[in-house]
Chain A
């Protein structure tokens, strides 16, 4: 339901922007920058070092590149500020984050606006409160800030709108006469066809656990639609996963494994391996979040593959409540400022700079990194990659969105449990009942 509102806001924004023209957009974004400039003059000449702790280790591609570009711009505009970045991949990042929170976080940090991550962090009071009214002009999509709030106070800002998608190699599909599947059964049948052609149907990062949990969410959402959030949250709160839809969803995940949808050994392979299978033409599809849309612009990837990347979302399931246009999407990653920052003002100033629409959002758009959590319609040039256009279209036409994935709806202990158990149920070495009772245990 949130999403309808969101789309409405987006539409209004587009129309207003179109009517008033680009001038006002520029003026809007100027305002925070100006006030920021005054701050600088107050502390002019004083050398400030800001530490940014990021979960984007690849600084030369995709989102990491976008983040680094904004940081470099900030440093050249504010010569007295030096920004040091420490970047680790997601697992290592979260570990280090916890370690850091004992001694004081770096000034600006990556966070996730989900209970599994943020609940404990906010309880510990390590993040600085932000003033929501500062961001009235930033074009945040409605509802996207909700995950970053506690008791009505804002502690962080979302970076992306993430959509769970199947990337597929359009040329490979065309050459072999494969069709984008319309139903879950088609998907599994397609897996058989692709496999028969000697190609891996879908590359999956199963070693990490969370992409499988996203897949599970995707299936569960297709089954339950409006009731998804309620079903998942109730199960977690009551430590009772006996719900029929949840059972069915887990079974469907295992069916995908049995149908050979994923590569051999997906349950122990990491992100890089899965992505490389797809980008090197070894697999026809790749299941991942929309942030990987930047593959289409990655020079390391063969042009023939890069230019043929397209997406589709989880097809509808027989007997499921959701339509094709009800999609699994959420606002996950974002940034926050450390409460213990020695340069709190500068850190907030930098955070605000990051989120000026022409920075993260626009530069991200130009680099093809999926969808930001801010209104991006103003940056459309028509030169976007096909994947980007598809994603805009997907979100534009969405009739409902899932919100936070199931693994991120409970405590961190629940997340750890489901993400380490899900491989066993997916590959069939544990049965559905045992899996469900194991994850219930972690909710207690």
Chain B
């Protein structure tokens, strides 16, 4: 051990690793630091400020006026629902394209995957038009539909990949026992897909959790606004109060960071699996 510690290569290695960690984390520390100061204290040349008095009030303002709880609830609900839909639909489509016998299975698969290559923002303009004609703007559907649609290709891809590695014998045995297709799919196949379901959940959630472009185009009232809006709303409302803006940014970032740190291992595993396959 002692010899290793003196190894200059090891030292350089550690220095580099720690330097990268600092680069990745310091901006967040800075954010936290400034969020506890007063606006007038920010015009400084120092790296961090030691606030004269810690301004917890910034967070109270951010929490209350940023509609934190409402937006958090909306984010959780919309993301949760779209995750469920993506998992369900991708399992169904994957099974239909992979296991069922029909002429166009390959074509259907390709068409569904095509969505992965379409830049999401090109649908902003026409979708706005469509949703407004159908009076769906400012409703949960305006987010749920595109979130699900644009996460589906990736989900389908992962599901098909995993499903094709499942042994067919199990399914055949179930069929011989007189099992129908639906029961086979949801009772026998789905439980075997658990690892890839976890991956699809995590990927879909990460994709949509931070989305705000569609949200800001399709939504207008507070009812369904998602978490990023805490930040967007505030920069206008509190343009003259920097400290509160920092507080609302820290507050908005917090849930995702906390959940990530707690579930770090399983999220890493899920992302890793999806990333390598996708």
Q: Find out whether A and B make contact in their complex, taking CB atoms under 8 A apart as touching.
A: yes
What residues make up the interface of A, taking CB atoms closer than 8 Å to B?
Answer: 57-61, 84, 86-89, 92, 96, 99-100, 102-103, 271-272, 275-276, 279-280, 282, 298, 300-302
Q: Are A57 and B39 neighbours in the complex by a CB distance under 8 Å?
A: no
- Is B132 in the interface zone, CB < 8 Å from A? yes
Interface size class of B (residues with CB under 8 A): 20 to 34
Q: Are B236 and A57 neighbours in the complex by a CB distance under 8 Å?
A: yes
Interface residues of B in 202-250 (CB under 8 A from A): 216-217, 220-221, 233, 235-242
- Is B63 in the interface zone, CB < 8 Å from A? no
Contacts of A92 in B (CB 8 A): 216, 236
* Given A60-B237, A280-B39, A298-B240, A96:B132 Cβ within 8 A: no
Q: Are B240 and A61 neighbours in the complex by a CB distance under 8 Å?
A: yes
- Is B129 in the interface zone, CB < 8 Å from A? yes
* Given A102-B129, A300-B39, A88:B217 Cβ within 8 A: no
Contacts of B233 in A (CB 8 A): 57
Q: Are A99 and B217 neighbours in the complex by a CB distance under 8 Å?
A: yes
Contacts of B216 in A (CB 8 A): 92
Q: Are B237 and A59 neighbours in the complex by a CB distance under 8 Å?
A: yes
- Is B162 in the interface zone, CB < 8 Å from A? no
Q: Are A96 and B240 neighbours in the complex by a CB distance under 8 Å?
A: no
Contacts of A103 in B (CB 8 A): 132-133, 135, 137
Query: Which of chain A's residues has its CB closest to B41's CB?
Result: A280
Q: Which of B220, B221, B239 contacts A58 (CB 8 A)?
A: B239
Q: Are B128 and A272 neighbours in the complex by a CB distance under 8 Å?
A: no
Q: How far is the CA of A61 from the CA of B135 in the complex (A)?
A: 34
Selected A-B contacts with CB under 8 Å, 26 pairs: A57-B233, A57-B236, A57-B237, A59-B237, A61-B240, A84-B221, A87-B236, A89-B235, A92-B236, A99-B128, A99-B132, A103-B132, A103-B133, A103-B137, A271-B239, A272-B240, A272-B242, A275-B239, A276-B39, A276-B240, A276-B242, A280-B42, A280-B43, A300-B39, A301-B240, A302-B40
Q: Are B217 and A272 neighbours in the complex by a CB distance under 8 Å?
A: no
A281 vs chain B, min Cβ distance (A) = 8
Q: Mark B109-135, 1 if CB is under 8 A from A, else 0.
A: 000000000000000000011001101
Q: How far is the CA of A298 from the CA of B39 in the complex (A)?
A: 14
Contacts of A272 in B (CB 8 A): 235, 239-240, 242
B143 vs chain A, min Cβ distance (A) = 15
Q: Are A96 and B137 neighbours in the complex by a CB distance under 8 Å?
A: no
Other CB < 8 Å A-B pairs besides A272-B242, A276-B240, 4 of them?
A: A58-B240, A96-B220, A102-B132, A282-B43
A155 vs chain B, min Cβ distance (A) = 22
Contacts of B42 in A (CB 8 A): 280
Q: Which of A86, A89, A275, A282 contacts B240 (CB 8 A)?
A: A275
Query: Which of chain B's residues has its CB closest to A85's CB?
Result: B221
Q: How far is the CA of A84 from the CA of B138 in the complex (A)?
A: 14
Q: Lowest 4 A-B CB distances belong to which pairs?
A: A57-B236, A103-B132, A272-B239, A89-B236
Contacts of A86 in B (CB 8 A): 220-221
Query: Which of chain A's residues has its CB closest to B232's CB?
Result: A92
Q: Are A279 and B236 neighbours in the complex by a CB distance under 8 Å?
A: no
Q: How far is the CA of A300 from the CA of B244 in the complex (A)?
A: 12
Contacts of A276 in B (CB 8 A): 39, 239-240, 242
Q: Are A300 and B132 neighbours in the complex by a CB distance under 8 Å?
A: no
Q: Which of B43, B221, B235, B241 contacts A300 (CB 8 A)?
A: B241
B37 vs chain A, min Cβ distance (A) = 13
B48 vs chain A, min Cβ distance (A) = 18
B115 vs chain A, min Cβ distance (A) = 24
Q: How far is the CA of A280 from the CA of B216 in the complex (A)?
A: 31
A202 vs chain B, min Cβ distance (A) = 17
Query: Which of chain A's residues has its CB closest to B65's CB?
Result: A60
Q: How far is the CA of A275 from the CA of B238 in the complex (A)?
A: 12
Interface centre among A89, A92, A103 (most CB of B within 10 A): A103
Q: How far is the CA of A412 from the CA of B82 in the complex (A)?
A: 38
Contacts of B133 in A (CB 8 A): 103
Q: How far is the CA of A96 from the CA of B138 in the complex (A)?
A: 12
Q: How far is the CA of A279 from the CA of B133 in the complex (A)?
A: 45
B13 vs chain A, min Cβ distance (A) = 38
Contacts of A280 in B (CB 8 A): 39-40, 42-43
Q: Are B238 and A58 neighbours in the complex by a CB distance under 8 Å?
A: yes
Q: Mark B239-263, 1 if CB is under 8 A from A, else 0.
A: 1111000000000000000000000
Q: Are A300 and B128 neighbours in the complex by a CB distance under 8 Å?
A: no
Q: How far is the CA of A61 from the CA of B236 in the complex (A)?
A: 11
Q: How far is the CA of A298 from the CA of B238 in the complex (A)?
A: 12
Query: Which of chain B's residues has its CB closest to A102's CB?
Result: B132
Q: Are B220 and A279 neighbours in the complex by a CB distance under 8 Å?
A: no
Contacts of B241 in A (CB 8 A): 300
Query: Which of chain A's residues has its CB closest to B242's CB?
Result: A276
Contacts of B129 in A (CB 8 A): 102
Q: Are B237 and A58 neighbours in the complex by a CB distance under 8 Å?
A: yes
* Given A102-B132, A103-B137, A280-B39, A300:B217 Cβ within 8 A: no
Contacts of A60 in B (CB 8 A): 237
A102 vs chain B, min Cβ distance (A) = 5
Q: How far is the CA of A92 from the CA of B236 in the complex (A)?
A: 10
B74 vs chain A, min Cβ distance (A) = 16
Interface centre among A102, A275, A276, A302 (most CB of B within 10 A): A276
Contacts of A89 in B (CB 8 A): 235-236
Contacts of A301 in B (CB 8 A): 240
B134 vs chain A, min Cβ distance (A) = 10
